[in-house]
């Protein structure tokens, strides 16, 4: 017995190596999606439980919600997309953002 680990991937055929790579990539993507959902849930809980102390903080909450809404709009709904964009422009103008 040796202390050097054996790289089993070298002993597999090309198809098996590709299948293993795909399984590893899928597992990584699923882990990232799970982490993202947990962070989104944490953010949404904080947005719901912590009251805004200023109009700027309220606008941050509104931006988040509008982004969720805009993401759910069908691509052909240009009217509502334009309305959301106009509102973001208003937030930037009134908030002094550049």
pLDDT in tens, 14-68: 888 888 899 999 999 999 999 999 999 999 999 999 999 998 899 999 999 999 9
| Cβ count within 10 A of residue 59 | 20
**Chain centre distance of CA 48:** 19
Polymer length of the chain? 98
Q: Which sign, positive or negative, has the C-alpha torsion 42, 45, 50, 55?
A: positive
Task: Band the pLDDT of 98: cuts 50, 70, 90.
Answer: very low
**Chain centre distance of CA 46:** 17
Q: What CA–CA distances, in Å, run from 86 to 76, 90, 92?
A: 17, 6, 10
Q: Tell me what pLDDT residue 17 has.
A: 84
Global pTM exceeds 0.85: no
């Amino acid at each position: 017995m040796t202390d050097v680990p054996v790289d089993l991937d070298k002993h597999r055929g090309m198809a098996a190596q590709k299948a293993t790579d795909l399984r590893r990539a899928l597992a990584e993507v699923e882990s990232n999606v799970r982490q993202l959902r947990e962070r989104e849930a944490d953010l949404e809980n904080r947005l719901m439980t912590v009251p805004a102390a200023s109009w700027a903080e309220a606008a941050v909450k509104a931006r988040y919600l509008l982004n969720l809404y805009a993401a759910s709009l069908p691509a052909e709904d240009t009217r509502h997309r334009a309305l959301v964009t106009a509102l973001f422009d208003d937030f930037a103008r009134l908030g002094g953002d550049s």
